[in-house]
Chain A
Amino acid sequence: MTNAWTDIKNTDLVVVMGGNAAEAHPCGFKWVTEAKAHRGAKLIVVDPRYTRTASVSDYYAPIRQGSDIAFLNGVMKYCIDNGKVQWEYMKAFTNASYIVKDGFGYKDGLFTGYDENKRDYDKSTWDYVMDDDGFAVTDPTLQHPRCVWNLLKEHLAPYTPELVEQVCGTPKEKFLKVAEMISECSSPTKTMTSMYALGWTQHSKGSQNIRAMAMLQLILGNIGVRGGGMNALRGHSNIQGLTDLGLMSHLLTGYLTMPTEKDVDFTTYMSTRLFKPLRPGQTSYWQNYKKFMVSFQKAMWGDAARADNDWAFNYIPKLDVPAYDILRMFELMHQGKVNGYICQGFNPVLAFPNRNKNVASLSKLKWLVTMDPLETETSRFWENHGEFNDVDTKSIQTEVIQLPTTCFAEEEGSLTNSGRWLQWHWAGGSPPGEAQHDTYIIAQIFLRMRELYRKEGGAFPDPILNMSWDYADPNEPTPEELAKEINGRALTDLMDPTDPTKVQVAAGKQVVNFSQLRDDGSTMAGCWIYSGAFNEQGNNMARRDNHDPDETGAYLGWTFAWPLNRRTLYNRASADLNGKAWDPTRKIIEWDGTKWSGYDVPDIAPNAKPQDVGPFIMNQEGVSRLFARGMMRDGPFPAHMEPFESPVENVFNRKMRGNPVARVFKTDADQLGTSDEFPYAATSYRLTEHFHYWTKHNRVNSALQPEFFVEISEELAKEKKIENGGWVRVWSKRGSVKAKALVTKRIRPLICDGKPVHIVGIPLHWGFTGSAKKGFGPNSLAAFVGDANIETPESKAFLVNIEPSTAPKDKEASV
């Protein structure tokens, strides 16, 4: 989220699209109801289903899953055509005026430079025209035909209300009503917030869905302002934290990136990451990359990371592929190329698409270790449960070690919420049986391996033997120790840059925040963006001052938000070119002639003059990007693409399937179904009574929504002679499930590209462990393909067939 949950009360219009906030984030959704009750805000829901969010909306419009880009591009076109643009903001704070290289274009659903065999683009033309000083050429008048603004208008031209209706199945008048309501928020004194979640990410073009809305928000001037923003409602309680801390194949901490084989040494690695400003006087904060990287290396390997060994650069593995993401790992597993796997609090058997493939893959492992407070289908994937998990136990040669961990109530530490708040919590209960903290388990395995390497030697033991592990009790590092390590400290006395005689930070003291980090090895910090969370003032994540001056919703005294306790990202954009708030009633920070100050920590150098320095300091341009250059694999502008399994053809290019640059493995390509065999468009989602697969272990939540079901329209039920509450079988090219049918008015067939499209809604939750009734999940059916940029599986749009059926048989019954 660019803004905080509590900031949503400041909005005038909430658009819930690609998400279902009321069901998935009820207590965050509270702030929507607050905005409605006290600001007269309106709520729009655009979703294939009439959700519980829709039940309290002011306006609901149906849409076919996987067609969001067409809808959003349509809204952008509507706003531009009707002059509903926050002109001043758009001109000053986006790259609308930047001139794009000749040669860049878009035709038949493809951008310039497509190579069908590589399934990739040559992106050389997707860039700005540069002048001799290496600065991008711009035309502030927006007259230049090749400026981003004009290219965007050209790109959006086809997205008429008629095309939106044809592609999305959204009746024209409903689309226009939504577009009209949204366009009102182009006024500097009206803001709209976008609340989205996996409804946008779980598509083969998920990143582009989000880009489209982000661009709309920029055109309307809604980024960086109170009650605005792009608010990604993250899933798990610390999914934000784990991403921030780089627990991903392609990341290091704080969004530093993993080296690839091209980065032959540290210098080469840094050369592609120290982004120089593309406009005079811009900040381009990543110029500090080296400070953060060196401090990170010092946190990992301490004294073993020295200038003369490239800060132990070689200790970090180098990637030969963009990422060993989940899908790639399970593909490799399936090919028998993976021997061991560790699942810490993760249940891939139910979480990843194509369950049959996942179980087959796990069955090829030599060993599997699971760490979890609860039973999981993954740790018992080898157990036969009749139709619910029909495996041949004897033939599965995988050794499985299941380790019991503590849960939230029995451990201490911080979680980073969707609003980037790092909130500390304390342990209140004793663990059951012999359950242990994850930190203890990780430490034990690490120490034992280190011991083995000491004794036996082995492959490249250096990073293990030199790992900095100087905790009071190496057997179990305490949360405080780890938090302090993340924050970082001075390794030698740090002299004040402005006055070299003064010690800024004494050796061994915590740095106040990342502004004190150095690239000479004199500082260490595990994760630079978290620096400031636990400094010499103490544990700022444990702060509990809930005062909120003038009720802006900032709560600066409550815990700690990264970066630098900043609550609203890009908040400098809440003020105009003179540094005055666009909307005085919604001021965040203002320029008083010498410095920035206000209710939040300024997202700009405090003394950066409003006219000179752009608000988007992490970008080389200093402005936001309507045109993404070569940074997105599937295009600098969002373009409509169908899901890989779609009931209709892509109207821009009827031969094109899915996302033309998305990675598809051979075996999975063969498992893609077509609409003649699988005529119905399925989507997956979570119900408010449940949290993923955990709550089926909870008697209360199990009672509130006990049994697996699929939702279909009355029309489809009639057509297929399916009765409400009766059993149905739903199957795709990859698997089959049995469920109760819930026939509802909340799902209606849509007319897309001239033919009716029936939607089958498949909630996720059920498995074969826990207190709820045994059942299945949508991942038994979904396709094993991911987003072109970040490989998030396309779990929200796939094709199925459906028929009346009988109850599934459990093991006891089947033998």
Chain B
Amino acid sequence: MNMDLSRRSFLKLTGAGVAATSLGAMGFGEAEAAEVAHVRPFKLTTTTETRNTCPYCSVACGIILYSKGDLRKGDKAEIVHVEGDVDHPTNRGTLCPKGAALKDFVKSPTRLKYPMLRKPGSDKFERISWDQAFDRIARLMKDDRDANFVAKNAAGVQVNRWATTGMLAASATTNETAWATFKFAKGLGIVGFDNQARV
């Protein structure tokens, strides 16, 4: 009798037999079980690697950006993961809690995407074009420079100073950007020019 049969298999308590019966009973062979038991597919497979350094602190850990798409091939590249660079002498692949989460800095919802203008007294930003932005800034700067440039001091010494417009430079930008910024600011005669090193 069927019930007896199954009871005897209960009483056998353990053994592949049971597994087989029960699995078989629910149409679930070992093969399928194996399929399901596979570990998660490796998510970096077929991504593009790019060597970079962490933008946060001055340890400047080596990192590798993993992207879908390759900029060098002219694709649009989307960063999908960031990990420490094992070849780097300083960090040897390790990263701190900031570095390890760099992907979410790159993909932060508060990344800026478009030039914005806030008019005097307004309570909101309005989107503007780059050209509008550049022309406006150039005009504002020139007008102020022309109006407040100090060419000579009381003693008649050429001082060529522009002190009514100031600039703060970003100390997370590259040296190359910094050099361009330096030429721009000092060339215009801006003296109120500093960077984070001051604080």
Contacts and interface: CB of A to CB of B under 8 A. Distances in A.
B50 A317 contact: no
Interface string B59-71: 1111001010101
Q: How large is the interface on B (under 10, 10 to 19, 20 to 34, 35 or more residues)?
A: 35 or more
B192 interface: yes
Contact of A345 (B100, B110, B172): B172
Interface of B: 48, 50-62, 65, 67, 69, 71, 76-79, 82, 87-92, 94-102, 104-106, 108-123, 125, 128, 130, 133-142, 144-146, 148-149, 151, 153, 155, 157-199
Given A237-B60, A445-B138, A427 B169 contact: no
Contacts of A430: 69, 71, 76-78
A125 interface: no
B112 A243 contact: no
Contact of A375 (B51, B106, B110, B175): B110
9 contacts: A27-B94, A241-B174, A245-B182, A315-B187, A344-B167, A398-B120, A409-B102, A439-B176, A697-B105
Among B90, B130, B141, residue most surrounded by chain A Cβ atoms (within 10 Å): B90
A375 B186 CA distance: 27
A771 interface: yes
Contact of B186 (A316, A384, A441): A316
A253 B129 CA distance: 34
Q: Please give me the 6 A-B residue pairs with the lowest Cβ-Cβ distance, nearest first.
A: A433-B113, A345-B170, A413-B174, A428-B50, A428-B65, A404-B112
A797 to B, nearest CB: 15
Interface string A482-513: 11011000000000000000000000000000
Interface string A378-416: 000011100000000111111111111101111111111
A415 B174 contact: yes
Nearest to B49: A428
A438 B177 contact: yes
A645 interface: no
Given A245-B179, A345-B173, A367-B140, A558 B102 contact: no
Interface majority SS (helix, strand, loop, mixed), chain B: mixed
A484 B114 CA distance: 31
A752 to B, nearest CB: 27
Contacts of A479: 174, 176
B179 to A, nearest CB: 5
A399 B120 contact: yes
A56 interface: no
A435 interface: yes
Given A416-B175, A418-B58, A691-B57, A442 B184 contact: yes
Given A320-B161, A339-B165, A434 B115 contact: yes
Contact of B193 (A233, A234, A247, A401): A247
Given A423-B53, A433-B114, A485-B179, A792 B160 contact: no
A105 interface: no
A246 B194 CA distance: 9
A691 B56 contact: yes
Contacts of A264: 157
A762 B17 CA distance: 65
